[in-house]
Amino acid sequence: MGFHRRLAPSSGFNRGAGAALCVLSAAAAALGAVPASAAPHPDGRAEVDRLYQQAEEATEAYNKAGERADALRHEVNDAQDRIARQQQRINTMREALGSLAGAQYRSGGIDPTVALLFSDDPQDYLDRASLIDRIDVRRAGQLRELQGAMRELAQERAETAGKLAELERGRKAVASHKATVEEKLARARQILDGMPAADRAAFEHASRGDDRADLPDLSGAAAPDGRAAAAIAAARAALGKPYVWGASGPSGFDCSGLMQWSYAHAGIHLPRTSQEQRYAGHQVPLSQAQPGDLVVYRSDASHVAMYVGHGQVIHAPYPGAPVRYDPVGMMPVSSVTRP
């Protein structure tokens, strides 16, 4: 997910005055109106930048918590299926043991000395005694198997209870991160609404990204292989799609969602968050970036974009700004990853 952008030095790439306006833009038109009494912040652009960055960090945490919650739901569903099957197995074993007990009783399962005293036919007694011995051996084995199955069932139930508790904690974490994002964006809306009309107009123009004069010429930027080419083609197909926090396409994206969606079209599964995408491949110096590489921003890796050549990236910037091109040095680069 990306929001407000601040230019920072990045060796080997050109950045013009037009880029500065883009990286300072925010989404007044898409963010909506707030009461006119909202007081302007003394340094509105810096404050919006700070709020957007904080919201971006919370969004990546929201994505991570949501991804873990989804995985836990699948694990819990699978575990509940296993528990049901194991319980059925135990029930069947208990029925079999009951049948054995009944067979033993019908075969004369009483004290051997007493049985011998009352037996009219010693051979009949010996035959029945042999059958009882076989039943006892079989029952002992089945009892051990039943005990083992019951221990497994108890362990599975305990583990599933732990996963359910973790799932509930994850649900609360998702709600907390969502509330943080919404709080930061609401405050940004207030600040934007309190800005002078001329500043708001500049923000609106830049955030829409239309009629821009600095669209890059990427005709000579060749992808190093077919996978990178497929990912770039997908990212370009998303140009103009709206920024939607927590979204991974196809109708809207946040920053890491766009990268995951684009590389899925190349047959590569990227993790969901920008922090995890940072390590989804091998890292290269910025000076050696190739089209298709992931450019990760800020020391906390809270924003990610795709390098497309000629000093440009494609990314989902911030609320109100569509997927678009921007200079690679739009903010401090922390690493470059080649999936």
pLDDT at 315 over 90: yes
User: 3-state class of 197 per DSSP?
Assistant: helix
Residue that wins the pLDDT comparison between 105 and 77: 77
pLDDT at position 215, please? 64
Q: Quick one: residue 14, left, alpha or beta (phi over 0 = left, psi -120 to 50 = alpha)?
A: beta
Tell me what the pLDDT averaged over the chain comes to.
Answer: 74
Q: How far apart are the first and last CA of the chain?
A: 19
- What is the helix (H) or strand (E) element at residue 202, kind and residue range? helix 197-208
Which residue's entry shows tokens 């836990």? 72
pLDDT at position 208, please? 54
Task: Give 114's pLDDT tier (boundaries 50, 70, 90).
Answer: very low
Active site residues per annotation: 255, 303, 315
Residue that wins the pLDDT comparison between 293 and 90: 293
pLDDT at position 226, please? 93
pLDDT at position 26, please? 31
Task: Give 44's pLDDT tier (boundaries 50, 70, 90).
Answer: low
- What is the helix (H) or strand (E) element at residue 307, kind and residue range? strand 303-309
Residues 6+ apart with CB under 8 A from 146: 90, 93, 94, 97
pLDDT at position 168, please? 83
Q: What is the pLDDT of residues 279-311, one digit of tens each?
A: 999 999 999 999 999 999 998 898 999 999 999
pLDDT at 72 over 90: no
Residue that wins the pLDDT comparison between 211 and 7: 211
pLDDT at position 279, please? 95
Q: List the single range of 20-24, 102-106, 317-321 with lowest mean pLDDT.
A: 20-24
pLDDT at position 335, please? 96
Percent of the chain's residues with pLDDT above 70 = 67
Highest mean pLDDT among 24-28, 124-128, 214-218, 267-271: 267-271
pLDDT at position 25, please? 33
Which contacts qualify for 219-225: CB closer than 8 Å, 24 or more apart?
220/309, 220/310, 221/291, 221/308, 221/309, 221/310, 222/291, 222/309, 223/290, 223/291, 223/292, 224/290, 224/291, 224/292, 225/292
**Token duo for residue 114:** 């007493």
Task: Give 64's pLDDT tier (boundaries 50, 70, 90).
Answer: confident
pLDDT at position 2, please? 44
Task: Give 196's pLDDT tier (boundaries 50, 70, 90).
Answer: confident
pLDDT at position 269, please? 95
**pLDDT (average), residues 73-81:** 84
